[in-house]
Amino acid sequence: MDNSNKNFTKPTTAQAFTPFIALILLVMIGYQAYGVDAHIPLFFAVVVAAAVAVFWMGHKWSTVQFAMLKGINFALDAVLILTTVGVLIGAWIEGGIVPAIVYYGLQIISPQVFLIATLIVCSLVSVFTGSSWNSLGTVGLAMFVIGEGMGVPSGMTVGAIVSGAYFGDKLSPLSDTTVVASGTAGVNIYDHIKHMLKVSGPAYVIALVLFGILGMRFAGSEMDYGQIAEINNALTSTFTINPLMLVPLFLVLAMIFKRVPPLAAISVGAIIGGIWALVFQGANPGAIMSSMHYGFVMDSGMPIVDGVLSRGGLHSMMWTISMILITLMFGGIIEHTRMTEVMLEKLLSIAKTPKALSVVAHFTTLFLIMTVLSHYLTHTLICRTYKHAFEKNGLHAKNVTRISENWGTLPSSLIPWGPCGVFVIGLYGVHPFEYAPYAFFILAAMAISLIYAITGFDMAKVDEPSEVAAD
């Protein structure tokens, strides 16, 4: 059967925009009016998209089903990683690895510089690994637990973690989103990164300053050092803690730095965590496998410790995975039935000047990442669609790739129904609406990028030579 959509009739404007409007309304009403998770409102949005495709546009059900499977296929690697991360977290808590990181972190990191340290540590891991998710699932989780022990509000900590993870991911030549964005537009990857630095650099400085200011509130007498001592006592009375407990963390980071595929590195880390639980914590195999499956349950009698360390496990990721699958069913339908194509064309037609084109490109990118919910598809569609329009207006294609990253890659972690936002919720139990105000790097980079577009500042022209010739 030919599954190509090249011969499909383009939908009308009303047909193309109806599923997107339904998505926004259903999710917002569900959350604001009834306080429900986004899963079922998203499922209703899938129903609307499917109904539009079948009953309004005349597609066969087999076409819609193929589109949903095609959309899900974009995230199968993410689903596998999420599954393994859940197992890893359960094993690492049972094995005393996460408790040891918290124990030493509470002794070494000063509370007033905690947020800055979190930003920098997560940035470095993402730069060297090329993956925000690697950073979020390893050092990010450790910094989150340390922050909870210090009494730092969860939203602030996750804001710093996400800011660092996505700064590093966006500027790493090893990042898949960076490669896809630059490659699709035919821009040399190092020209692309250098151009992004003109936005990301100032945004990172702003984030450092703001996190430094926030950190001052945790200095001196405002910190409850007695509580930290109680936390450490609860940890040492439950787990065997010594420097050997940190070995699995460094092994996993070393594998990721050596470009071992994330799924393999995390799987090995989970197995090592189980071995550590058996050898150093004296856990029996049944308890270890239970923690890997359902998560570790902490019962120290201290609520803050029990709440922070009772987490992980394969089962804990099912909430996240189910939402990702539903959202990508929606994205698959609107992309395969050419609804996305029509929406892009309509948005592109609004722009009449180079500045207007740049501004429209920003909001089109945000619109896509909120609907198709895939970095790869968003970057591909934006860079292909806007590359020639920018060049016709005398603007270099690297402007498009920078916009695609700043308003596509970065805000993806702030979308509650998107794979990245859902991943963060699954890891830390913190909703994007809670940490978004503290995602200073992301917000600053998006604002600076839009200001450049409105003013025309640093919008490279087509006659500007590249420092490195594109392949």
Instruction: Judge whether residue 411 has pLDDT over 60.
Output: yes
For residue 220, the model assigns a pLDDT of 55
Q: Whose structure tokens read 């011969």?
A: 7
Mean pLDDT check: name the lowest of 81-95, 108-122, 134-148, 289-303. 134-148
Q: CB of 164 within 8 A of CB of 135?
A: yes
Q: Does residue 29 form part of some domain?
A: no
Q: Which amino acid is at 177?
A: T
Share of the chain above pLDDT 90, in %: 40
Task: Give the Cα separation of 287 and 18 in Å (integer).
Answer: 50
Quickly state the pLDDT bin for 161 (edges 50, 70, 90).
very high
pTM, full prediction: 0.76
**Looking only at Cα atoms, what is the longest distance across the chain?**
70
Q: Which amino acid is at 50?
A: A
For residue 73, the model assigns a pLDDT of 83
Task: Give the Cα separation of 78 and 65 in Å (integer).
Answer: 21
Q: Does residue 103 form part of some domain?
A: yes
89 three-state secondary structure: helix
Tokens of 149: 């022990």
Q: CB of 195 within 8 A of CB of 449?
A: no
Q: Does residue 254 form part of some domain?
A: yes
Domain residues for the domain of 110 are: 76-317
Query: pLDDT tens across 109-129, in order?
Result: 887 889 999 999 899 888 877
Instruction: Judge whether residue 1 has pLDDT over 70.
Output: no
Q: How far apart are the first and last CA of the chain?
A: 36
Q: Whose structure tokens read 């003013």?
A: 455
* Contacting residues for 141 by C-beta, under 8 A, at least 6 apart: 89, 98, 427, 428
Q: Does residue 99 form part of some domain?
A: yes
For residue 188, the model assigns a pLDDT of 86
Share of the chain above pLDDT 70, in %: 94
Q: Does residue 268 form part of some domain?
A: yes
Instruction: Judge whether residue 348 has pLDDT over 90.
Output: no
Q: Does residue 371 form part of some domain?
A: no
Please tell me the total count of domains within the chain.
1
As a whole number, mean pLDDT of residues 259-279 equals: 90
Q: Does residue 395 form part of some domain?
A: no
Tokens of 158: 């996750």
Query: pLDDT tens across 4-19, in order?
Result: 777 788 999 999 999 9
Q: Does residue 380 form part of some domain?
A: no
**Percentages of the chain per state (helix, strand, coil), in multiples of 5:** 75, 0, 20
Q: CB of 238 within 8 A of CB of 310?
A: no
Task: Give the Cα separation of 292 and 448 in Å (integer).
Answer: 43
